[in-house]
Amino acid sequence: MADRTKTVLSCMLGGAMLALAGCGYSQQSRFQTAFLPAPPAPAAALADVIEPPALKPNLYLRDTPAILNPRLQTPVLSMRRQTLADKAEARFQRGRKLYQARDFEGARKEFDAAIDLMLEGSDQPMPDRQVWDRRLDQMVDAIHRYDLAGLGAAVNPDEEARFEKAPLEDILEMTFPVDPRLKSKVREQVQATASQLPLSINDAVLGYIHYFTGRGHRTLLYGFERAGRYKPMIQRILDEEGVPQELIHLAQAESGFLPRAVSRKAAAGMWQFVAFRGQQYKLMQTRYTDDRLDPEKATRAAARHLRDLYTEFGDWYLAIAAYNCGPGVVEKAVERTGFADFWELRNRRVLPAETTNYVPIILAMTIMAKNAAAYGLDNVTPDAPLEYDTVEMSAPTHLALVADLTDTPVSELMAMNPALLKSVAPERYSLHVPKGTGNGLMAALDMVPAERRASWRMHKVESGETLAGIGKRYGAAPGSIAAANQLAAGGPVAGERLLIPAAAVEEKAARTRSRTAARAAARRRTGARHGASARGTATAHAAKAAHGSTRTAAKTGTKRGTAKNSTVAGSVRRGPATAANRSRPRATAN
């Protein structure tokens, strides 16, 4: 009996000890700490050339169930990404210092390492994907500017402008389902919305609102961001021409505010003018320029064309339809049916399929823009408005020379002058240059013989440089440099500028392909191998490539075959009026 009692007591004692041990199991501690606030993440010291954007909510994870977003993992992933960002920033800063010391090879290695670290962070799931992607894009842009300045930019007198696919071109012939929950909501919004353009609600408009709220939301976001560059100018011109301000959304639908957008029918520019229609409104084309690609000239022409169409048809919907398919098509549809009403013509299917959806797209964008908070558009950070000085060229002038004199990358000058088809600005061309550099540029150009401005360069001498070294860089004989600058005996003096009597293409550093941005583009295209999260990343980047936000492939001279292999050829090397562009007719005939 005593033995049995001892056995029972021993079992009870052992059970109690096990229970106490169970209470100390580490899982319980982790469960308890899950309710404590997460420690603050260390702030990253960003370079002054890479300002982090404002934090945006992830519109696609707003309704994510809690079970798919466990709290225990969030601080760990956030801290890891922050660590990667800090390391990438440190490598980027070391690259800057090496670049300033003219150690280009060392700078290249550091820049490549910085991009690799950022891409490593891109492979992980995260709720703030847009913020991370924008931070990566800003770093790539910053490094690309160094590429153009000395690490290996393509400076070619025969280089032609690159053109981009109009982002909404593929959806103009598509229709989308209507979310029944939207009808009453949108009807209330329209009743409370002030608009110079009449707003109508029907299933076609609701279908596009549903599309832009879901699958097409990124397209809308990127367009709204780019709109910031041109919105003040467009609003001013629309007001001066006396047409509704809401017509700015035609540029969103036509091109996504991409100045070099080109359609399958060779309509070109932000407002998608075909050649003959552009000429009617003084948008001329030459070997070197295409006024349809000039944002300000094309906006003026579009406003006047729309005003003329409204004068003819007396209805803004018919005017917008005629802008898309041409006034002759609308005139014939009205004559055939006897109805001068867009919705009636749409129902009778006497207009091109593209045109029947074109007006609903404009109305959907207008309604969503005027009710931005209701559609997740209130957190968009628009690009800064473009500001520039304008200098008229008195002789053909290469942009590489302008870049030398203004300390501006050639790519930035090309972006400010989208109407230039080549990297040489012709005589009497009004060239846009960074704000505050116009007067200095005019004075500096006087130092260069007019007949040499299309080929000569200007070099700022750095400490320790010799004529032999400078000549080797540009492919020019040291004696030629000395003669062009009337140099006496002795080497060049640090800080002075030397004329380089050589063709702009001959700078050897300029023949090296920019590897950093190419590496980022390549890694993004192969992101699908990293799993579901990376597949989402790859999809997002493919969309950005199509809409002009991911610009790395175009910047680095990616070969044409690469563009064809991408999901959507976002940057293609094609002119605005080539035979290839006419392979599939488009209804647009501005």
CATH of residue 189: 1.10.530.10
C-beta of residue 500 within 8 angstroms of C-beta of residue 459: yes
Q: Which residue has the higher pLDDT, 336 or 487?
A: 336
Asked if 416 and 435 count as a contact pair (C-beta separation under 8 A), the reply is: no
In a domain, 115, yes or no: no
- Pair (313, 357) in one structural domain: yes
Which residue, 509, 532, 566, sits at the end of a domain? 509
Please report where in the chains the tokens 């800003």 appear, as a residue: 138
Average pLDDT estimate for 116-142: 75
Predicted local distance difference test score (pLDDT) of residue 116: 83
Which amino acid appears at position 521 of this protein? Answer: A
Note whether 275 and 193 are same-domain residues. yes
Please tell me the least confidently modeled range out of 47-51, 228-232, 272-276: 47-51
Segment of 68-72, 261-265, 369-373, 515-519 carrying the highest mean pLDDT? 369-373
Residue with the bigger pLDDT between 98 and 516: it is: 98
Phi/psi at 44 (5° precision): -90, 135
**Helix pair 295-313, 248-255: axis angle to 10 deg:** 110
Q: Of 490, 509, 528, which residue is a domain's last?
A: 509
Residue 63 lies in a domain: no
291-300, 352-361, 401-410, 572-581: least confidently modelled range: 572-581
More confident residue, 250 or 10: 250
Last residue of one domain, picked from the residues 481, 509, 537: 509
Q: Are residues 473 and 565 in the same domain?
A: no
- Dihedral, CA of residue 471, residue 473, residue 474 and residue 480, to nearest 10: 0
Give a yes or no: residue 88 inside a domain: no
498, 536: one domain: no
Same domain, residue pair 247 and 174: yes
Shared domain check, 484 and 344: no
Q: Is residue 250 part of a domain?
A: yes
Average pLDDT value for the chain: 74
User: What is the share, in percent, of the chain residues with pLDDT greater than 70?
Assistant: 65
On whether both 261 and 214 belong to a single domain, the answer is yes
For the chain, the domain total comes to 3
Q: Do 401 and 498 contact (CB within 8 A), yes or no?
A: no
Least reliable range by pLDDT among 15-24, 348-357, 384-393, 526-535: 526-535
Element (H, E) at 337: helix 327-337
Same domain, 350 and 243: yes
Tell me: do 440 and 344 sit in the same domain.
no
Q: What is the dihedral of CA 336, 339, 341, 342, to 10 degrees?
A: -20
CA angle 407, 296, 355 (to 5 degrees): 130
Q: Which residue has the tokens 């540009």?
A: 474
Residue 429's domain comprises 388-413+421-509
Query: Is pLDDT above 60 for 585?
Result: no
Strands 424-425 and 261-262 come out as: unpaired
The answer on 546 and 464 residing in a single domain is no
Residue 409's CATH number: 3.10.350.10
H/E run at residue 345: helix 342-347
User: In the structure, what pLDDT confidence band is assigned to residue 490 with cuts at 50, 70 and 90?
Assistant: confident
Is 273 in a helix, a strand, or coil?
Answer: strand
- Please tell me whether residues 232 and 365 are part of one structural domain: yes
List, in sequence order, the alpha helices (H) in 192-294: 203-213, 217-241, 248-255, 275-280
In 315-413, the DSSP E strands lie at: 388-392, 397-398
482 assigned to some structural domain: yes
pTM of the model: 0.61
User: Does residue 58 have a pLDDT over 80?
Assistant: no
- Classify residue 100: in a domain, yes or no: no
Q: What does 295-319 look like in DSSP terms, one character per residue?
A: HHHHHHHHHHHHHHHHHHHS-HHHH
> What tens digit of pLDDT does each residue of 281-330 get?
999 999 999 999 999 999 999 999 999 999 999 999 999 999 999 999 99
